[in-house]
């Protein structure tokens, strides 16, 4: 079992799995695919806790908003603060939502 550093700034991949209640394999897949914020420290990955929590909060908020008229504008607002690799996808989704009248 991983040593808990959840009060700290970074999580290990094992702690990410515990935090999300997924298997170690799934946690590694999320990290490898870049689906969670991560930094490499030597040969190991670390997940910045604050960034992960912001990402999860945003995803939860988007899920609640997805059926509202404000969805496209909220996606655009989130894109402003998103890292470059996420920004383009958020803007694409916003345009798609706007064209569908969501």
Please tell me the distance from the alpha carbon of residue 67 to that of residue 38, in angstroms, as a whole number: 30
User: What does the pLDDT read at residue 5?
Assistant: 45
List the domain boundaries for the chain.
10-50, 66-99
Neighbours of 58 (CB within 10 A): 17
Per-residue pLDDT of the chain (102 residues; tens, 9 = 90+): 444 444 579 999 999 999 999 999 999 999 999 999 999 999 999 999 999 999 898 888 777 777 777 888 888 888 888 888 788 888 888 888 877 765
Please tell me the distance from the alpha carbon of residue 77 to that of residue 33, in angstroms, as a whole number: 25
User: What does the pLDDT read at residue 91?
Assistant: 87
User: What does the pLDDT read at residue 41?
Assistant: 92
């Amino acid at each position: 079992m991983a040593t808990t550093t959840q009060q700290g700034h970074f999580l290990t991949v094992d702690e990410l799995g515990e935090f999300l209640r997924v298997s170690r394999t799934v946690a590694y897949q999320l990290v490898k695919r870049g689906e969670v914020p991560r930094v490499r420290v030597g040969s190991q990955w670390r997940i910045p806790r604050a960034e992960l929590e912001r990402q999860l909060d945003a995803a939860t908020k988007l899920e609640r908003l997805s059926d509202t008229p404000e969805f496209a504008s909220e996606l655009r607002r989130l894109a402003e603060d998103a890292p470059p690799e996420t920004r383009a996808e958020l803007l694409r989704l916003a345009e798609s939502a706007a064209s569908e009248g969501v």
